[in-house]
């Protein structure tokens, strides 16, 4: 049974009516399925069971501590992009030797933290970053394991804001620059160049693009082998598409079948960085209908969740499936919008729902990834609550913020008091 399903006309998450969650914890509210998170992790892990590998969950997709603990207990590592995410991963019980750190703008403080924690790999993205790591390693006497993030300079058919492997994208090093970085690292006794990394974008459904990128990295590895640089960790990154509608999703098994032939003969460990693929379908954003407003075209359904709670539709034009929490007679096509003072605050321009009225609840599906983790306080709106459902129990895993929480973090100069 799918984690979100109708039973006697009510939408359930596992064994809990979603309407009861809304009444107990309020809206807007993110709701996650424990069983779905574990199921998706295990499926991704099993798809690559034929070779030594490590799943490094992309913490940026959803960094809630309870989510990270679920994955840590399942055996997951972590792909992190900040010092804060290193702290979160370690606090959740993810071992340092299962953490990989990427990011084009790692601060000196973050790199020192990564070195102090002795994480598995720092995937460098510029020669300047490599130079600083060398200085740090020599100053502390600690050797540092690195990978080099390669920008394979291939076009990915996805939204330009989530493309990371084109020549014009800021991420990684072009192949010839990557070779220069390895050569520089090879001559430094404190730098251990043991990894190679790519991440070419998100929401990629054409699996052949992963194969193309992997082949670029294999060519670099072959050149490095001639210079006696042996790569032990091949980091394929993440980015497998998860359609907002939930239909037509490429499977991890299909990804494995596409890329593994390119790695034939590789004797190290493959690293994969799924984020959205594990958590997206495990979450919904629960909202309450505030008002209905008829128009000449189609009516507006105004809900209490806004683009500050879930920015993907406004930022990327994402069109997520929306369900009424209670099934009803008949149907109508409506526009679902939020309360934010921006015209971009639209969740759907034409979605068919049972007639919903003020006070009813709706659920926006596939919002477990890049939902709560990208939420903001725009319009002085407090951050939403988050709830985890396991079987027939619902657990609050992040309290709803209050306006007082926001104000109490501010400091007013004495001359204004």
For the chain, how many residues are written? Answer: 417
Quick check: is 13 catalytic? no
341, 412, 416, 417: the catalytic one is 341
Answer yes or no: are the C-beta atoms of 351 and 319 closer than 8 Å. no
Torsion (CA) 258, 259, 262, 264 in degrees, nearest 10? -100
Nearest partner of 178 among 209, 129, 143, 220, judged by Cα = 220
Answer yes or no: are the C-beta atoms of 64 and 372 closer than 8 Å. yes
The residue written with tokens 């709106």 in the block is 381
> According to the 3-state scheme, what is the secondary structure of the chain?
CCCEEEECCEEEECCEEHHHHHHHHCCCEEEEEHHHHHHHHHHHHHHCCCCCEEEEEEHHHCCCHHHHHHHHHHCCEEEECCHHHHHHHHHCCCCHHHEEECCCCCCHHHHHHHHHHCCCEEEECCHHHHHHHHHHHHHHCCCEEEEEEECCCCCCCCCHHHECCCCCCCCCECHHHHHHHHHHHHCCCCEEEEEEECCCECCECCCHHHHHHHHHHHHHHHHHHHCCCCCCEEECCCCECCCCCCCCCCCHHHHHHHHHHHHCCCCCEEEECCCHHHHHHHEEEEEEEEEEECCCCCCEEEECCCCCCCCHHHHHCCCCCEEECECCCCCEEEEEECCCCCCCCEEEEEEEECCCCCCCEEEEECCCCCCHHHCCCHHHCCCCEEEEEECCEEEEEECCCCHHHHHHCCCCCHHHC
CA distance 260 to 194: 20
90, 222, 321 from 87: Cα distances, Å: 5, 36, 34
Beta bridge partners of 163: 201
Catalytic residues: 341
């Amino acid at each position: 049974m799918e984690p979100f399903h109708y039973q006697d006309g009510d939408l359930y998450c596992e064994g809990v009516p979603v309407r009861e969650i809304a009444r107990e914890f309020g809206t807007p509210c993110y709701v996650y399925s424990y069983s779905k998170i574990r199921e998706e992790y295990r499926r991704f892990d099993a798809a690559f069971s034929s070779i030594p590998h490590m799943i490094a969950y992309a913490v940026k997709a959803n960094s809630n501590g309870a989510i990270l603990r679920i994955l840590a207990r399942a055996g997951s590592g972590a792909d992190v992009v900040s010092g804060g995410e290193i702290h979160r991963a370690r606090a959740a019980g993810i071992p340092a030797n299962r953490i990989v750190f990427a990011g084009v703008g790692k601060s000196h403080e973050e790199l020192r933290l990564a070195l102090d924690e002795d994480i598995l790999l720092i995937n460098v993205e510029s020669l300047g970053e490599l130079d600083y790591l060398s200085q740090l390693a020599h100053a502390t006497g600690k050797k540092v394991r690195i990978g080099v993030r390669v920008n394979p300079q291939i076009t990915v058919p996805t939204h330009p804001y989530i493309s990371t492997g084109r020549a014009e994208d800021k991420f990684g090093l072009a192949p010839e620059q990557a070779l220069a970085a390895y050569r520089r690292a090879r001559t430094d006794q404190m730098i251990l160049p043991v990894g190679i990394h790519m991440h070419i974008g998100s929401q990629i459904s054409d699996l052949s693009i992963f194969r193309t990128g992997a082949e670029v990295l294999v060519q670099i590895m072959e050149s490095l082998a001639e210079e006696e640089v042996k790569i032990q960790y091949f980091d394929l990154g993440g980015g497998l598409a998860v359609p907002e509608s939930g239909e037509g999703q490429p499977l991890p098994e299909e990804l494995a079948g596409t890329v593994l032939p390119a790695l034939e003969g590789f004797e190290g460990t493959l690293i994969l960085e799924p984020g959205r693929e594990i958590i997206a379908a495990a979450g919904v954003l629960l909202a309450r209908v505030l008002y209905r407003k008829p128009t000449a075209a189609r009516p507006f359904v105004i809900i209490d969740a806004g683009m500050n709670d879930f920015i993907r539709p406004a930022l990327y034009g994402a069109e997520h499936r929306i369900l009424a929490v209670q099934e009803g007679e008949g149907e109508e096509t409506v526009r679902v919008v939020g309360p934010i003072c921006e015209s971009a605050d639209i969740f759907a321009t034409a979605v068919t729902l049972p007639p919903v009225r003020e006070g009813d609840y709706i659920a926006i599906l596939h919002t477990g990834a890049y939902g709560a983790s990208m939420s903001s306080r725009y319009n002085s709106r407090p951050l939403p609550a988050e709830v985890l459902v396991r079987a027939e129990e619902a657990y609050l895993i992040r309290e709803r913020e209050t306006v007082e929480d926001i104000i109490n973090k501010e400091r007013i100069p004495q001359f204004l008091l």
